[in-house]
Amino acid sequence: MNPTFRLKYKETEKQMTDTFKLFLLYKNYNSYKSYVAFLGVFIYIFIMYFMKPRINLGLLYFTLQFLSFWLAAFVVGDIYAKTSGRKKALKDAEMYGYDQYHRRLENRGEELEIEVEFFDDKFTFTVKENVTDYNYNDVSRILETKDVYGIMIGHKLTNNQILAIPKSSMKKEKREKFIDFLMEKTTNRKKKNIINVPYDRV
């Protein structure tokens, strides 16, 4: 069976750096939201359960005051994610990309060529003779930066895998058709639209 799309690219230093940029920027933006959300719920329940007798204010007033602080924490976290957090993510991506590329090049002696094939019922990643199959139903999100597409595998809150595909592996006129194909096949996505993760903002 012939694939609908067959893409090839080499595992270059830029490709690895772009992959880390995609992963770390996305993680940076989502980590603060999850952290603030869960921490806020935990603190509120803790206060209401253990400290309720000490609260002299009315319950409604206290709840509104707490929600105001919680909202402020989201705003501060959002500003951090778009400034210092973004800078740290980009700096780490450059470092990890350089380190991983040169470590693998030293071990293997050459840049690996990767082939990605998209069929009607699955898609595969081939590195040398090692073929890994993926099911479209396992795709939870489709990400995008100016240089790569990211396919997130797994529906759990942690331990998700992101497969990055350089846009340079296909002609510009094929990119829209490729995304339309992915969107059609990955019906179990948590996010129905492509998540844009640009470098200049998170």
pLDDT tens-digit readout, 151-180:
999 866 556 788 999 999 999 999 999 999
How much is the pTM? 0.74
Over residues 129-142, the mean pLDDT reads 92
pLDDT range class, residue 201, cuts 50, 70, 90: very low
When the pLDDT of each residue in the chain is averaged and rounded to a whole number, the result is 82
For residues 156-195, b (16+ Cβ closer than 10 Å) or e, as one string?
Answer: eeeeeebbbbbbebbeeeeeeebeebbeebbeebeeeebb
- Per residue in 30-76, pLDDT (tens digit) is 766 666 666 666 666 666 665 554 555 566 666 777 777 777 777 77
Domains of the chain: 5-196 (2.30.29)
